[in-house]
């Protein structure tokens, strides 16, 4: 009796799933998704082949340092990096003295309170501090950016699909709207105050092009700062901020696979040894 009930319950469950699948497919056929400008003209980023990509990927520390320089001189005016501390920069090759100097010289200081008067004040950054926000609060951020809120960049490459490639493509993707788009979708003209970018989800982004010309940043290592190079470098830096332990994770994965291979070999050897005298 119990077995019969179990079979009936299982059959009912399968029937409900099949019914749901049928009606979902029917609705998709009868009411297909509308053809929109976003679907027709949105582009997917190309692979920029960062050294950190792939199973054995490792950070190119010189490139990550250049990316930090781009963030510092271009992006930091609008975008925060609240999950990264100044002292974390030692992981990409900066010395302790250099980190102290970067923190001390950072344009935005830490909010503080005067212990004697209770008045709001500021103080110099310490290596243990996280990167401060360029704005006092969300209202100030929106007021300075045409009511758009600049997102924090700490985890951006993990928050977006194909994140590293997306960052590079977005920075390089600003252009005029194609005439074909306006012919096919006359109502899709980019509104005033926004900028056309086919790599952004709805094609129109509030952020003006941050990287506007070659040589916008002068790299300390002498690398030629083309627009493409700067976009690649800051993408590498934001890949590191989103996953600073990537190399350790890759190393642990390799070690785990090697261990499993050795374990399988020893298990096979033990099996052969135990059953070697047993005739089949």
Q: Quick one: fold of 37-78+149-248?
A: Cytochrome Bc1 Complex; Chain D, domain 2 (1.10.760)
Cα 89–Cα 57–Cα 252 angle in degrees, nearest 5: 85
Q: How confident is the model at residue 37 (pLDDT cuts 50, 70, 90)?
A: confident
- 4 pLDDT higher than 80: no
Kindly state the tokens that stand for 119: 């008045």
Question: Is 156 annotated to bind ligand?
Answer: no
Q: Is 1 annotated as a binding residue?
A: no
pTM of the model: 0.83
Determine the Cα–Cα distance for residues 44 and 156; give it in Å rounded to an integer.
17
| pLDDT at 34 > cutoff 70 | no
Question: What pLDDT score does 166 carry?
Answer: 97
Residue 230, annotated as binding a ligand: no
pLDDT average, residue stretch 26-45: 78
Residue 255 has pLDDT above 80, yes or no: yes
Predicted pLDDT at 33: 62
Average pLDDT, integer, range 68-76: 97
pLDDT averaged over every residue in the chain: 90
CA distances to 100, 114, 262 from 275, rounded to whole Å, are 65, 79, 20
- Is 35 annotated for ligand binding? no
Strands 204-205 and 110-113: unpaired
- Cβ count within 10 A of residue 230: 28
**For position 7, what pLDDT does the model report?**
81
Is the pLDDT confidence value at 23 over 80? no
Other CB atoms within 10 A of residue 50 CB: 22
CA–CA distance, 127 with 103 (Å, rounded to integer): 6
Tell me: the pLDDT tens digits for 195-218?
999 999 999 999 999 999 999 999
Confidence of residue 279 (pLDDT cuts 50, 70, 90): low
Residue pair 40/184 in contact (Cβ under 8 Å)? The answer is yes
Give 152-195 pLDDT, tens digit per residue.
Answer: 999 999 999 999 999 999 999 999 999 999 989 888 899 998 99
């Amino acid at each position: 009796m119990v077995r019969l009930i179990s079979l009936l319950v299982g059959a009912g469950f399968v029937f409900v799933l099949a019914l749901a699948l049928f009606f979902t497919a029917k609705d998709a056929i009868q009411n297909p998704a509308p053809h929109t400008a976003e679907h027709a003209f949105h582009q997917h980023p190309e692979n920029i082949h960062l050294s950190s990509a792939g199973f054995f990927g490792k950070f190119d520390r010189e490139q990550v340092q250049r990316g930090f320089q781009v963030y510092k001189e271009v992006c930091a005016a609008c975008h925060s990096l609240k999950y990264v501390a100044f002292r974390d920069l030692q992981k990409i090759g900066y010395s302790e003295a250099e980190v102290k100097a970067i923190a001390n010289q950072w344009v935005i200081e830490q909010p503080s309170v005067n212990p004697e008067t209770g008045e709001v004040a500021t103080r110099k950054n310490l290596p243990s501090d996280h990167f401060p926000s360029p704005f006092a609060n969300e209202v100030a951020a929106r007021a300075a950016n045409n009511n758009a809120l600049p997102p924090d960049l700490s985890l951006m490459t993990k928050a977006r699909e194909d994140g590293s490639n997306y960052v590079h493509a977005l920075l390089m993707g600003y252009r005029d709207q194609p005439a074909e788009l306006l012919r096919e979708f006359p109502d899709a003209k980019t509104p005033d105050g926004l900028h056309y970018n086919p790599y952004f989800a709805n094609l129109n982004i509030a952020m003006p092009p941050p990287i506007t010309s070659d040589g916008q940043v002068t790299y300390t290592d002498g690398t030629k700062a083309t627009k493409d190079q700067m976009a690649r470098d800051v993408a590498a830096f934001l890949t590191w901020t989103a996953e600073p332990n990537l190399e350790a994770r890759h190393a642990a994965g390799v070690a785990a696979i090697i261990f499993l291979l050795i374990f399988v070999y020893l298990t096979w050897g033990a099996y052969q040894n135990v059953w070697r005298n047993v005739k089949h």
